[in-house]
Amino acid sequence: MKIAGILIGVIVLLLVVVAVRAMQTGKRAPLAGAPAPDFTVNSQDGKPVSLRDFKGKWVVLYFYPKDFTSGCTIEAHNFQRDLAQYEQKNAVILGVSVQDEDSHQKFCAKEGLSFKLLADTKQRLSASYDSLMDLVVGKLSARHTFLIDPAGVVRKVYLKVEAPKHSEEVLADLTQLQSAPAAK
């Protein structure tokens, strides 16, 4: 019982620290309707990838904490499982975490991922989307997702992501956004 109480106390303390730092920096996640911040970072193949490369396509920009962890692996597998459906909807999947290209390359090879994973080693991309957690053990990308339309505008923001069902949720929202009269 004591260990559980200590663990809960540590988690609450970490959440307070993250909230205070977010208030101090004044950064906020881009809101739906705002232009998506552009970026250029390397993918797992060592080649630079920019948001502007995907002008004319929908972009699912998803941030995740760490390669090879259970929740991140489940989330990536589900995006991979649904990749053909995203492609039919003119959408690309871009995963982002602070691990380097080598880690992403190994993660893709081991897990059979064929979409781009972006190596945000300088943590600028995660910070520009207010998706950077400053933990006692270091900085990691938070589990957030931004659905960006073909004109580069954020259409949907997901700040409370449940990895097992997230791809289905994003796909449903993408379908709904594309069927709306303004999206055509």
Indicate which residues carry an active-site annotation: 72
Which of 150, 165, 176, 162 minimizes the C-alpha distance to 60?
Answer: 150
Alpha-carbon distance 59 to 100, whole Å? 22
Residue ranges in the chain assigned as alpha helix (H): 2-25, 70-81, 83-88, 101-111, 124-128, 163-179
User: What are the tokens at 119?
Assistant: 């190596």
Looking up tokens 């950077």 gives 132
Contact assessment for residue 163 and residue 143, using Cβ atoms and an 8 Å cutoff: yes
Q: Give the number of other CB atoms < 10 A from CB of residue 57.
A: 15
How crowded is residue 147: how many other Cβ atoms within 10 Å of its Cβ? 22
